[in-house]
Amino acid sequence: MSKLVFGNQKMYMNRESVIDFINNLKTLNNLENVVVFPSYLYLTDYSGVVNFGSQDVSNNENGAYTGEVSASQIKSTGAKYSLVGHSERRSYHKEDNNDFLLKINNLIKEDLIPVFCIGENETEYDNKETKKVLFDQITSVYNNLSINDIPKIIIAYEPVWAIGTGKTPNNEEISEVVSYIKELVNDRYNTSNIKVLYGGSVNNKNVDSLNEMDIVDGYLIGGSSSKIDEFKYIIERCL
């Protein structure tokens, strides 16, 4: 049982705490399954320590876009991954399927691996609309991608109501949704083994129970990925 451990550090930490975090992370022997997503500012600090990626990418390739960071600039830091479509980008920055399509295409052009975040909100969960929401989120982007690019994408299933709240669906619900996503993508786009992560309030207390699910390939971890002791514990439990 080995799981991928992806840490979305959001806008937490400053230079000092990043350096401490990295020095502490280096004490672990095996970081093969770990990918850290720090602020753009600290991407290169992770070089040679662990795989890393960006939390977002511009939907433009280059040019006069103040404040944006392009896929090729991200690639030049040594990053291998980028998140796309995180719920905080969807809600605070009003990013939509057209943005995700452009971003995914820009990343793939640079051989970066997109980690495409999808998930239902609380009302949709209560109304049992999760699968319908995920179907729309996936197909409205994937139908416009080249079929050869679809297997290159990792999906992170993150129920919006579970992000940063301490609440999670139970294992049965997560397994059902993750297997739905895998079947949908495999059947519709002729892939065979796409990877699906679960994200939303994963921490040192629930990781062992989440690890009981074979169908889940790993986790996208927010808050707990900036707390080095918690993050190290999770990594060791996921080896």
Which CB atom, from 142 or from 219, has the smaller least distance to ligand PEP?
219
- Indicate if 124 belongs to the active site: no
User: 161 φ, ψ to 5°?
Assistant: -70, -10
- End-to-end Cα distance, the chain: 7
Query: Closest approach of Cβ 221 to ligand PEP, in Å?
Result: 5
Buried b (16+ CB within 10 A) or exposed e, 2-30: ebbbbbbbbebbeeeebeebbeebeeeee
| Residue from 61, 86, 176, 212 carrying the catalytic annotation | 86
Strands 51-54 and 34-37: parallel
Binding site for ligand PEP (CB under 6 A): 8, 158, 163-164, 199-202, 220-224
Q: Which residue is nearest to ligand PEP (CB)?
A: 222
Which CB atom, from 185 or from 202, has the smaller least distance to ligand PEP?
202
Query: Closest approach of Cβ 233 to ligand PEP, in Å?
Result: 14
- Indicate if 93 belongs to the active site: no
Query: Closest approach of Cβ 15 to ligand PEP, in Å?
Result: 22
Which CB atom, from 5 or from 189, has the smaller least distance to ligand PEP?
5
Which CB atom, from 207 or from 220, has the smaller least distance to ligand PEP?
220
Query: Closest approach of Cβ 85 to ligand PEP, in Å?
Result: 11
Which CB atom, from 150 or from 197, has the smaller least distance to ligand PEP?
197
CA distances from 25 to 31, 101, 225, 239 (A): 9, 34, 11, 15
Contact in structure between 186 and 226 (CB atoms under 8 Å): no
| Residue from 88, 120, 124, 158 carrying the catalytic annotation | 158
Taking each helix axis as running N to C, give the angle between helix 130-142 and helix 97-109, from 0 to 180 degrees, rounded to the nearest 10: 50
- For the record, the structure tokens of 224 come out as 């707990």
User: 192 φ, ψ to 5°?
Assistant: -125, -35
Q: What is the CA radius of gyration of the chain?
A: 17
Contact in structure between 69 and 53 (CB atoms under 8 Å): no
- For the record, the structure tokens of 24 come out as 């502490």
Nearest to 154 by CA among 102, 96, 85: 85
Active-site residues, by number, are 86, 158
